[in-house]
Structure 1
Amino acid sequence: MTATTDAPGTLPTPTDEARLWALIEAAWAELGPEPLALRQALVERDPADDDDDDDDGPYQAIDAWLDAFLDRLRHLSAELTGPELTALDRVVERKLHDIDREDIHEVTDGSDDGFLYARGFIVALGRTYYEAVRTDPAMALLDAECEAMCYFFAHLHDDRFGSLPGTGSGISRESFGNPAGWSA
């Protein structure tokens, strides 16, 4: 069962977007300086210097922190209302949709689901990394994934209220669903 949706074409508000990025940063911050340094290193690296024989190196280092990050994010979201979770899901949906692009897929690779999970990883690492990849797709990592981020707030809503939220956006977060991101 899906919850009642907002009007079709509903966009995330700047306040909701700021809240998403603040929650993500707060969850990472609670884990201490090591994951912060790893995330910063991913943003500051020159992708041209990535070792072709060890494409997973940067991902493996941060991957070890993803479950703890998601646990902290879940904890920080524990008191959010249904409408607040819906608003955050709408922001994640929009962010995933906006980077559903052919040029990013060329770097991350992956099937329909694999590319969705790769975009989940990009969002999970926070606004700085998201913006770096959005601006320069070469900043993305091959095969890096965070499946749980793709529907994180939708699943929290379902767990608490017994239904998936209706974002009312009229867009899809699924791979290859952004016509503006793909050549004909």
Structure 2
Amino acid sequence: MVSLELSVLTLNVWGIPFVSSDRAERMQHIGKELSSGKYDIVSLQEVWTEKDSMVLQELTKAILPYAHYFYSGVIGAGLLVLSKFPIVSTLFHSWTVNGYCHRIQHADWFGGKGVGMCRIRVGDRYVHLYNAHVSIFTTIFFFFGKLLFWKMTEVLVFERMLTFFPTTDFFFQN
């Protein structure tokens, strides 16, 4: 069997508009690091604005000329893939459980979360890269005591199961 060595980075850039501090400056620094040539494929989460996506693509295009931003929901899926190699096809699977509209600070409900797949041609081979960003159901309110913490953990486990069981079908179909 012939081996294939790639340098792959995944990073949550924390790009929530109006919430994330120093977002524009952070995108500049992240873009400069990604353009260093250390990475063959980059999988980013929480790239919530098209402007941030364009900034990152512009800063990295000399080294990572291929890109795909996954659009979904009201504000997008927040997923961006940058690659040194051609992205020949993409597919997106939306999750049915995407947070709650009354938890505005989480932004999960507004972004159509799910898992994106990029089929990337590396020489004469193909790599399937999956990029996902799970919901923020992990909010923990310690100051309300252990009972609330355990209740939220119970809800978290149930919601994650609802999210990931259909996703396994998506992986095996592609």
Alignment TM-score, normalising by the size of structure 1? 0.29
Richer in helix (by share) = 1
| Structure having greater relative contact order (Cα 8 Å, sep ≥ 6) | 1
Richer in strand (by share) = 2
Q: Greater CA radius of gyration, 1 or 2?
A: 2
Alignment TM-score, normalising by the size of structure 2? 0.30
